[in-house]
Amino acid sequence: MNEKTKYLILLYYCYSPIEHAEQFAIDHLAFCKELKLRGRIIVAGEGLNGTISGTREACEKYMATILADPRFAKTDFKIDESDSHTFQKMHVRYKPEIVHSGLRNPEEVNPNKKTGIHLSGEEFQKLKENDDVVVLDVRSNYEHHVGHFKGAITLDMENFREFPEKVKELEHLKDKKIITYCTGGIKCEKASALLLKEGFKDVFQLHGGIIKYAKETGGKDFDGVCYVFDNRVTVPVNSVNPSTVSKCHICGIPTFRMINCANPECNNHLPVCEECGWEMEGACSAECKEHPKKRTYNGTGYYVKNTDPAHLD
251 is catalytic: no
Q: How many CB atoms lie within 10 A of CB 19?
A: 8
Contacts of 162 (CB under 8 A, 6+ apart): 102, 155
Q: Looking at 182, 248, 261, 273, which residue is catalytic? A: 182
Residues of 113-145 as b/e, b for ≥16 C-beta within 10 angstroms? Answer: eebbebbebeebbebbeeeebbbbbbbbebbbb
Cβ atoms 35, 92 nearer than 8 A: no
| Short-list 92, 82, 12, 79, CA closest to 51 | 12
Reference 143, options 38, 65, 240, 222; nearest CA is 222
Q: Which helix (H) or strand (E) covers residue 249, if one does?
A: none
Judge contact between 229 and 255, C-beta under 8 A: no
CA distance linking residue 123 with residue 205, whole number of Å: 10
How far is Cα 144 from Cα 42, in angstroms, rounded to an integer? Answer: 23
Enter the DSSP assignment of 305: G
Q: What is the DSSP string of 276-289?
A: HHHHTTT-SSHHHH
Q: Point out the residues that are catalytic.
A: 182
